[in-house]
Chain A
Amino acid sequence: MSKIHVSTTVNGDPVDFLCDPRETLLDCLRDKLALTGAKEGCGTGDCGACSVEVDGRLVCSCLMLGAEANGKEIATVEGIADGDTLHPLQEKFIDYAALQCGICTPGILVAAKNLLEKNPDPTEEEVRYWLAGNLCRCTGYDKIIKAVMDTAADMREAS
């Protein structure tokens, strides 16, 4: 099967790759661009471990074809920190032990960052429903929710 040439932008860098029409954006990020931060936990859009932003919109990269990324702006967990300065969410996740095994963490950070950009002052319920598409099996979510709420509070104070 002939391959499709895709030109896109990932974390601000222009990139090109060839993909099979059946390959997902997640496959392309991981296998062609060596960006393995996004994880495949289910391949059916149920776990959110593969969350990325496409033109600012939060999507499961396992549900989008690589070919559809042409001309888009993709943002992954690898682009959240500013050089060696972590994003406040990343700092807070470490401080609060909001991760145990860490496999869901990239997707949750991408989703939480997307939330705070849209809603800098979310209620606990809003955070819980926003992250309802990101499964975590280790933490019971308690420390994740607290980390997101407290990051939001800190960022409001700083702005």
Chain B
Amino acid sequence: MALDDDLKKDGFTFVGTRPKRPDGLDKVTGRAKFGADMVAPGMLHGAILRSPHAHARIKGIDTSKAEALEGVKAVVTRADFPDTVQHKPGMAGEMWNVLENVMAGEKALYDGHAVAAVAATSALIAKDALKLIEVDYEVLPHVTDVDKAMAEGAPVIREGSADRSVPEGLHPNVVRYHESGHGDVEAGFAKADLVMEDTYKTEATHQGYIEPHACLGMLGADGKGELWCTTQGHFYFQKVCAAVLGLETSQLRVTASEIGGGFGGKTTVFMEPVSLALSRKANRPVKMVMSRSEVFRATGPTASASMDIKIGMTKDGTITAAKGTYRLQGGAFPGAPADFTAMCGFAPYCLENVLQIGYDVMANRPKQAAYRAPGAPMGAFAVESVIDEMCNKLGLDPVEVRLKNAARDGTKSSYGPTWDAIGQVACLEAVKAHPHYSTPLKEGQGRGIASGFWFNHGGETSVSLALSEDGTAQISVGTPDIGGSRASMALMAAEVLGIPYENIRVTIADTATLGYNDVSHGSRVTYASGLATIKAARDAVEKLKGRAAAEWGIDPDAVTWEDGYAKPSGPNAGEFEPMHITKITGKMGRTGGPISGHFEATPEGAGVSFGTHIVDAEVDPETGKTSIIRYTVVQDAGKAIHPTYVEGQFQGGAAQGIGWALNEEYIYGEDGRLQNSIFLDYRIPVASDLPMIDTVIVEVPNPGHPYGVRGVGETGIVPPLAAVANAVSNAAGVRLKELPMSPPRILKALKDQKG
């Protein structure tokens, strides 16, 4: 889609201001309805029985005792789902994986895999009933580590899962293969003064949203259903639930609750079809809410990664060649984002010779889900660590080296496309100019710099905007508001319509009242729903102008729209008093009927995103504990619609990245069971762990959006793993190559260095 022509270059009235968010009152008074806050008449409570084994054949399930318990209204197992999933266009293959993950078939594939579910008159009875279900397991050998899972002799998770991309001779657990790049890396390495090659590892982490998954489903014998759930994409949930339950998509209406954090983890269907299946059997609504332990064991985590990076550099800091091999374990299903890891790793740089290879590997762990720029943080950790070490070896400034090699407008990217209007250089210049970068460090402290890249995404988008007779506007969007996007939509609509921000109400429409919308992912909401909102508002403005033109008896092209008024475009158009929006909407019923604006399309100009972080850290050599002393995020936002919420995205991404770098990890025992499935043991950063997080919003307008927006949600988590690792390594005087850099790991590195 050619959108370049309507990039607004002059001043803004509303965009760039910082008004109160429209849903603020609801969220500070406790009245906002999240996933678990909904009830329905006659509602039952559901609960899920989960496998205690990492890998086991299910020889039989006896539910008779559970069914006999007073208050139990339905029990379901895989037998209550259709044998084959319906084919839905665009969903090839993945639906079967979703069903297999939602309810185990022949085998339990990980600790926490659902094997049966109960609906009862109370949550306590449902839990009691789970204890009465008898499952006959034949325990099988398991594997949870990525390198072991692709080694000879590893237990095969599911034979035949590999697609045609995988070269012959690899273990059947390697299910996807990616290779991209250009030039001749061997020739490039030969030209280098210094070549470094090393292996880096990251453990799986969880998105850690504070709201557990929750839903309330009702499915009648007539095939009509209602589903309320916490989700990043209710239209996608509608499609998936319909596919795995054998329903017509349009007969299932899905309403998104307020969402208590997602970060990618609520783009995946885990439990909602179970609620609907129980409801169909019990003929009553069924509410299901996961415990935190279920969230950790059965949803979300990222892939874990093992990566080999080789970089060649000349004495002046020019990178002559770069090669990355990325092995990602994504649980018991295909889908680890090894391709994204591979494509993003070297993307901040303009390279003559580059090669990247990715392996998607299955293991006995929960199905990985997207987590904020999925795959990118791991690769950046490995690449940016090696670059930092090379800068240290060659005595070069890490920002200067990154600037020297930076991707620029016209650069052919590491994975193919040639870029236009990108912000990597602008971000690095802002880092160089920031007082943080020139502030001297104290004894025992280290500074880390790292860059990060994320693609950003457009996606299918529908928005409707309806004007009321009093000249106010209501906007229906289909992308759940995961961090203040209602405010951004209202600001963009106010800009077009020229009416106050407060006169606009933004609603997240359910699946029955708006066309299809892709999920809130890929940092796409402010970009794509924003673009759609602007286009829908412009559509309405054209109609408003038409009504004024009709009243004045002039051509609609001779009318302009300014600050909420229709005006003749010039002296030739005629002498008419400007006509306010309320004058037009007040009588719209008599001048042609209701006035609405619409937009339905798949915008494709999302505009790639870059950021660079500066971190100062201090390491206590006695305890191995790291303190983050100072943190600055510099990132390109294209155009910040509501700068306060842009800062919030930067700060939140950085905080999550700090957790990933220092504390967070999935810990598996020898038995393949997750050992840290509560927040006490899986420790995300708390307020006392962090300093203030400073932000710099760089604005290199994205030509693919009318106001220049590029998504900001994900890039913020790409640099921090590496930036923190560089700061810690520089403070401790030893290179940390494995995340998290927990105190025991830092102490070991210090001890090993001493020998």
Contacts and interface: CB of A to CB of B under 8 A. Distances in A.
Interface string B597-628: 00000000000000000000000000000000
A101 B259 contact: yes
30 contacts: A20-B124, A30-B36, A36-B30, A36-B33, A36-B36, A36-B37, A40-B289, A42-B678, A46-B678, A47-B679, A77-B29, A81-B29, A86-B28, A94-B28, A97-B484, A97-B645, A100-B652, A103-B211, A105-B28, A135-B210, A137-B684, A140-B652, A140-B654, A140-B685, A141-B690, A142-B692, A143-B644, A145-B687, A145-B692, A146-B692
Interface string A44-78: 10110100000000000000000000000000111
Interface string A102-114: 1111100100000
B260 A102 contact: yes
A38 B652 CA distance: 23
B258 interface: yes
Interface in A76-104: 76-78, 80-81, 86, 90, 93-97, 99-104
Given A40-B289, A137-B208, A137-B261, 17 more contacts: A40-B36, A40-B212, A44-B292, A93-B28, A94-B21, A95-B20, A97-B484, A97-B647, A102-B260, A103-B260, A128-B688, A133-B686, A135-B686, A137-B263, A140-B685, A141-B690, A146-B692
B394 interface: no
Nearest to A143: B648
Nearest to B258: A102
A143 to B, nearest CB: 6
B24 A94 contact: yes
B210 A136 contact: yes
A44 B28 contact: no
A141 B29 contact: no
A70 to B, nearest CB: 20
B655 A101 contact: no
B30 A23 contact: no
Given A23-B124, A43-B291, A44-B678, A96 B644 contact: yes
A138 interface: yes
A6 to B, nearest CB: 16
Contact of A37 (B29, B260, B648, B690): B29
B688 A106 contact: no
B211 A139 contact: no
B483 interface: yes
A156 interface: no
Going nearest first, the 5 A-B pairs with the smallest beta carbon separation are A37-B30, A103-B260, A140-B655, A102-B27, A94-B24
Nearest to A131: B687
Q: Per DSSP, are chain A's interface residues mostly helix, strand or loop, or mixed?
A: loop
B260 A139 contact: no
Contact of A103 (B261, B289, B690, B693): B261
A82 B25 CA distance: 13
A22 interface: yes
Contacts of A93: 24, 28
B483 A138 contact: yes
A143 B684 CA distance: 18
Contacts of A145: 687, 692
B730 interface: no
A46 to B, nearest CB: 4
B437 interface: no
Contacts of B654: 140
Nearest to B261: A101
Contacts of B687: 127-129, 131-132, 134, 136, 141, 144-145
Given A35-B30, A132-B687, A139 B212 contact: no
A90 B638 CA distance: 31
A101 B260 contact: yes
A139 B679 contact: no
A102 B32 contact: yes
Given A39-B211, A104-B210, A137 B656 contact: yes
A57 B663 CA distance: 31
A101 B483 contact: yes
B451 interface: no
B655 A135 contact: no
Interface string A25-38: 00100100001111
B164 interface: no
Contact of A101 (B25, B482, B685): B482
B8 to A, nearest CB: 24
A102 B22 CA distance: 13
Interface string B29-41: 1111110110000
B210 A137 contact: yes
